[in-house]
Amino acid sequence: MPANVTAPDSLQLDVLAGDAGFRRYYRLNTNPPLIAVDSPPAKEKNPAYVEISLFLQSQNLRTPKIYAVDYKQGFMLLEDFGSILFRQRLDNGASSPLYGQAEKTLVDIQKATIMEPAIPCHDRAKLGEELALFEHWFLNRLLNYTLSTSEKRLLECFFEQLISSALEQPKVLVHADYHSRNLMILSDQSLGVIDFQDAMYGAITYDLVSLLKDCYVRWPSGWVRQRAIKFKQALEASGLLTDIDDKQFIEWFDLMGLQRHIKVLGIFSRLALRDDKTSYLNDIPLVIHYCLEASMGHFQGNEFNQWFKQAIIPLLKRQPWYSEYLDAQL
């Protein structure tokens, strides 16, 4: 045990809720409590988790302290951040102050752009691989739908536009899954960041769209746009962004959201079909809502929008888990 941790004679492990990965979590009845993680080394990026965590801590960001690691077996002993997710506090109506806190933390992450060892780049190949999940897992496997030659051309053209938009943006350190389930409210009310092992260098709007167009919580589009512009101003004040007008930034933001949400349709389908995590099917209607909302608002997405409504929505309506997402739910 770490020097500042005491353990009872009878050590107990309480199982905690898992995440989208293959990790399993246990709370130990030590003083203070610790979290034991079973993270299969063949399936999880344990060295990346440790390296990125230590780097973020060196930049004064709060990630769980690492007390012990067994890379061979995939075991870790971590600081216990408690049980209060950012998402839970949103249910209590505290959204605006919390989002301000999350956005400030995000600027700090993005400012940390010099890192050793190097992390992957969200480059053309990676962006394309992510978008390919949509056809394989969402269309082919989940909906049993095969694209025609003309439909493939439509998607290839549209996806190229999304990739080009991402690549023209300034590059920063990207958490890659920065949303309400990966932020925690700590005992001192500061913000803790978790699930960052997929961090990369990528588009400056990627994490912002993950936060404001969250796959698990929906806010009015006007509110989202206002916060996006406010964040742009924070980027300008920090020196991370220059000579970009609001219209261009919002276009980057919306098209980056389309890339992410189209990818997520594939990921949620894979989680349900391959990993038997069928609860993610219930989150698909909101993701589809984001895709249709953003594609309708940009000329690049109009053809995709019409195709999706005509070809895919009828198939979705046959699924027992599907219901149309309405803004009346706000």
Residues 17 and 119 in one domain: no
Claim to verify: residue 274 and residue 318 sit in the same structural domain:
yes
CB 25 within 8 A of CB 64: no
Does 8 fall in a domain?
Answer: no
Give the chain's domain count. 2
Alpha carbon distance 244, 61 (integer Å) = 28
CATH number, position 69 = 3.30.200.20
Spatial separation of the C-alpha atoms in residues 168 and 177, rounded to whole Å: 21
The Cα 155–Cα 131 span in angstroms is: 10
54: in domain? yes
Question: For position 65, what pLDDT does the model report?
Answer: 94
What CATH number did the domain enclosing 265 receive? 3.90.1200.10
126, 66: one domain: no
Residue 275 structural domain: 86-329
- Read off the pLDDT band of 33 (50, 70, 90): confident
139 within some domain: yes
Residue 1 maps to a domain:
no
- Say what the alpha-carbon torsion angle 316, 317, 321, 324 is, to the nearest 10 degrees: 100
Kind and range of the H or E run holding 126: helix 124-133
132 plus 175 within the same structural domain: yes
5 found inside a domain: no
Q: Is the pLDDT of residue 329 over 50?
A: no
Q: Please indicate, yes or no, whether residues 101 and 160 belong to a single structural domain of this protein.
A: yes
The mean pLDDT of 304-312, rounded to a whole number, is: 97
Do 273 and 300 have their domain in common?
Answer: yes
Domain co-membership, 283 together with 152: yes
The residue with greater pLDDT, 245 or 300, is 245
For a pLDDT cut of 90, what percent of the chain falls above it? 78
94 token code pair: 């505290």
Q: Is residue 215 included in any domain, yes or no?
A: yes
